[in-house]
Amino acid sequence: MPHRPAVFLDRDDTLCRNADLPDHAWGDATPGDLLDPAHVHAMPGVAPALERLRKAGFAIVIITNQGGIARSHGHLTDIDACHDALRTQLPLTPPDKAPHPIAHTLIDACYAAPHHPSGTNSRFADDHPWRKPGPGMVLAAARELNLDLSQSWMVGDKQRDLDAAIHAGIDPARTIQVGDTCATPDLPAAVEKILAAIAPKHPVRAERVTLRCTDQHQHPLRNPRTRATVAAAARGLAERSGLQLLDLTLTDDSITATIATHRLAAMAFMNDLRRHTNHWHTQSQGAPLWPE
């Protein structure tokens, strides 16, 4: 397989519902230990978000703690059944032509840590390196799928998800926590951030235009109120006209704006600023600021 980056994803409450499932979804298990495939439901917007990541060249890898197995609430086959249910809800459209069957879903691989230090199943009653925040699942996926961790990302709803990626060597800036109380509410929003971060940066065309006072000997912009009013007018005009104001510099007798636009639009912007501030200054001081 080619060396490529991945987006590592927590499963529960990142890809599929968990916290808001009905009580009967857990059976005899501890709430949160989802081991019944009948209650695996991909969250809204997940499928198109993953499609965008695949088109951008990312592998999609699930890493999930499933301590319910250590607590004797189920078997490893139950984890597999839940992942199969999720795969069926996230098909490739159209399917890839790659020979491996897993290529026909949006998910490249699923890793699960069935361990828990307070478990009753002696086989898994430990704090295994695979268990998040340990890095084991990320490192195993990187080795087995030939992934480039330096360009990979992690998305999850818990800090331990992010810590697992960071401990594996993923840049903390490439980890995103999602949830109702987070700056990024869900996976689709996280994907927007990822794609924006990797988008090629095009040089911004900018024009610089300057207005100078009619009477430079009076230095009217030394007055703090005048200076603040002119600066506020410039920023407000840029916001209303949809122009990106890259820089604004004021001296005692001039204002210079650097605007991400072409020359004609920059000159039109300054003409509007001249007209508005002249009107205000004439009403308040009896004379215009700028030459007519």
pLDDT in tens, the chain (292 residues): 568 999 999 999 999 999 999 998 888 888 889 999 999 999 999 999 999 999 999 999 999 999 999 999 999 999 999 999 999 999 987 655 544 445 579 999 999 999 999 999 999 999 999 999 999 999 999 999 999 999 999 999 999 999 999 999 999 999 999 998 888 999 999 999 999 899 887 677 889 999 998 776 778 888 888 988 998 899 999 988 888 888 888 888 899 999 999 999 999 999 999 999 999 999 998 889 888 7
| Same-domain pairing of 131 and 182 | yes
Q: What DSSP state is assigned to residue 18? A: -
201 Rama class: left (phi>0) / alpha (psi -120 to 50) / beta? beta
Say what the pLDDT of residue 227 is. 87
| Same-domain pairing of 104 and 242 | no
What is the CA angle 241-245-249, rounded to 5? 130
Q: Tell me if the bond preceding 37 is cis, omega within 30° of 0.
A: no
Q: What is the pTM of this model?
A: 0.69
| Same-domain pairing of 41 and 75 | yes
Query: 152, 181, 198: which is the final residue of a domain?
Result: 198
User: How many independent structural domains does the chain possess?
Assistant: 2
d(CA 231, CA 228): 5
| Same-domain pairing of 225 and 188 | no
| Same-domain pairing of 240 and 262 | yes
| β pairing state of 245-250 and 254-259 | antiparallel
Say what the pLDDT of residue 181 is. 87
d(CA 174, CA 171): 5
| Same-domain pairing of 172 and 232 | no
Say what the pLDDT of residue 216 is. 64
Domain coverage including residue 84: 6-198
| Same-domain pairing of 94 and 188 | yes
Q: Which active-site residues does the annotation give? A: 10, 12
| Same-domain pairing of 11 and 65 | yes
Q: What DSSP state is assigned to residue 19? A: T
Flag whether 62 is in a domain. Answer: yes
Q: What DSSP state is assigned to residue 113? A: E
Using the structure block, give the residue that is written with the tokens 């001249």.
274
Query: 178, 198, 218: which is the final residue of a domain?
Result: 198
Flag whether 1 is in a domain. Answer: no
**Token pair recorded at residue 6:** 């991945």
Indicate which CATH number applies to the domain containing 88.
3.40.50.1000
Flag whether 143 is in a domain. Answer: yes
| Same-domain pairing of 173 and 235 | no
Flag whether 68 is in a domain. Answer: yes
State the burial class of residue 32 (Cβ atoms within 10 Å of its Cβ: 0-12, 13-18, 19+).
middle
Flag whether 224 is in a domain. Answer: yes
**Token pair recorded at residue 112:** 């699960």
| Same-domain pairing of 212 and 91 | no
- CA-to-CA dists, residue 144 to 5, 111, 137, 141, 172, angstroms: 13, 11, 10, 5, 23
In a 3-state reduction of DSSP, which class is residue 291?
A: coil
Flag whether 291 is in a domain. Answer: no
Flag whether 90 is in a domain. Answer: yes
Flag whether 292 is in a domain. Answer: no
Say what the pLDDT of residue 98 is. 45
Indicate which CATH number applies to the domain containing 233.
3.30.70
State the burial class of residue 270 (Cβ atoms within 10 Å of its Cβ: 0-12, 13-18, 19+).
buried
Query: 164, 198, 232: which is the final residue of a domain?
Result: 198
Q: Quick one: which of 221, 61, 234 has its CA closest to 149?
A: 61
Q: Is residue 106 within 8 Å of residue 60, measured between CB atoms?
A: yes
| Same-domain pairing of 17 and 161 | yes
| Same-domain pairing of 114 and 223 | no
